[in-house]
Chains A and B, each alone.
Chain A
Amino acid sequence: MTFINESDLIERFKKGDPSAFEAILLRHQDRIYNLCRYMLQDPEDAQDAAQDIFLKAYRGLKDFRPDSALYTWLYRIAVNTCLDYMRKLRREAIKREPFTEDLESDEPFPELLYESAEIHDFIQLAFQKLPEKLRAAIVLREIEELSYEEIAEVLHTSLGTVKSRISRAREQLRHVLKGNGKFLEQNRLSNRLTGKGKKT
């Protein structure tokens, strides 16, 4: 399979080739959906949001300027769409775990979770406790593995703000992790067994 340059795809789309958008969609759908899952938690909400994101991308792609990478542009649409969804969901007061703004919340995780949850369940719940902007920053850093500069571009903010948000997000997640001694021990044991305990 030949790799088609992304700028070529964009040019083809601008000239009216619909298969170019399909190629872009197939190339980026996983990372955008993954971001939505971590931001919104619910699979259906994530899918709805991801659909909206690609609809917005389709409408905006003709004006896209290649001075930034396409994926950072898509991430920017994705984060803004997810933040809109989170506000809308909060307004509608859907019965779900509330997105708390209480930075010092010490509400414990259910005891059952300590014993039975998979790691990603724990991570999802921990992320859910983060305020929206911190969540966006830490998901882009830890899950999507973007650099600080890329995150600043996506969030349309300064490098200093990105550093601060990631630091605060980690501090809060550390607080959650620390409050879960059993899980921490399990994580350390798991790290030793899988060799992931080495510093990266």
Chain B
Amino acid sequence: MKCKHARKMISQYMDGELGLDEKKDFDLHIQSCASCREGLEEIGDLHRLLAFAKRFPAPYGFATRVLANLEEKEGSRFRRLLSIRPLFLRVAQVAMVLVVMTVGITSGNLLLAERTDLIGQTAVQETFSLDLFQATPPDSIGGIYNTLMRPSHEK
């Protein structure tokens, strides 16, 4: 093996990238060539020096900045991704809102019907004035409180 060829193989030798035959030839050459041996030693020094090379971790807050940058540059697409939820969740959300609204409206109508029946009995069904409202209706929290707090002999 010639020195020129051996020099090119030093790097691969260092990294264990030579085939068996190549390595054998290289070893033979190195044993007999002081110049290439010196070259190998120097590349070895370099390899060991680079083992000291510092590893730079990403600066503090880097990921947050990347995500903010993404939101700014990707805009609606990124926000849309953030707002994506499974279909069944979205359907469940809408159904829940509809149920709450229906219960509210129905119970409101029932209460109003009850009131108007009472008013009808007193022949003021067509009238709708503040007189209809009591400050503390019997089934309100205030009414219950008054009932509870009323002296027992008044009940």
Contacts and interface: CB of A to CB of B under 8 A. Distances in A.
A18 to B, nearest CB: 5
* A37, A47, A167 — most chain B CB neighbours (10 Å): A167
Interface string B5-48: 00110111011010000000000000000000001001111111
A26 B62 CA distance: 9
A29 B45 CA distance: 30
A177 B45 contact: yes
B11 A199 contact: no
Contact of A120 (B45, B54, B62): B54
Nearest to B17: A148
Interface string A169-195: 011011001100000100110110000
Contact of A16 (B48, B52, B62, B84): B84
Given A33-B58, A55-B69, A163-B11, A119 B82 contact: no
B44 A199 contact: yes
* B7, B8, B70, B74 — most chain A CB neighbours (10 Å): B70
A174 B43 contact: yes
Given A184-B45, A187-B48, A170 B11 contact: yes
Interface in B49-72: 49-59, 62-63, 65-67, 69-70
B45 A187 contact: yes
Contact of B45 (A16, A171, A188): A188
B85 to A, nearest CB: 9
B8 to A, nearest CB: 6
Interface residues of A, number: 49
A30 interface: yes
Contacts of A120: 52-54
A143 interface: yes
A18 B82 contact: yes
A174 B48 contact: no
B81 interface: yes
Contacts of A16: 81, 84
Contacts of B78: 18
A170 B44 CA distance: 10
B73 interface: yes
Contact of A148 (B15, B55, B74): B15
Given A58-B70, A174-B43, A34 B62 contact: no
19 contacts: A16-B81, A18-B84, A22-B67, A29-B62, A30-B57, A33-B56, A55-B66, A120-B53, A123-B54, A142-B47, A142-B50, A142-B53, A143-B55, A148-B15, A148-B17, A174-B46, A177-B45, A187-B48, A199-B44
Top 10 closest A-B pairs, CB basis?
A167-B11, A120-B54, A33-B58, A29-B58, A16-B84, A37-B56, A142-B50, A119-B52, A18-B81, A30-B57
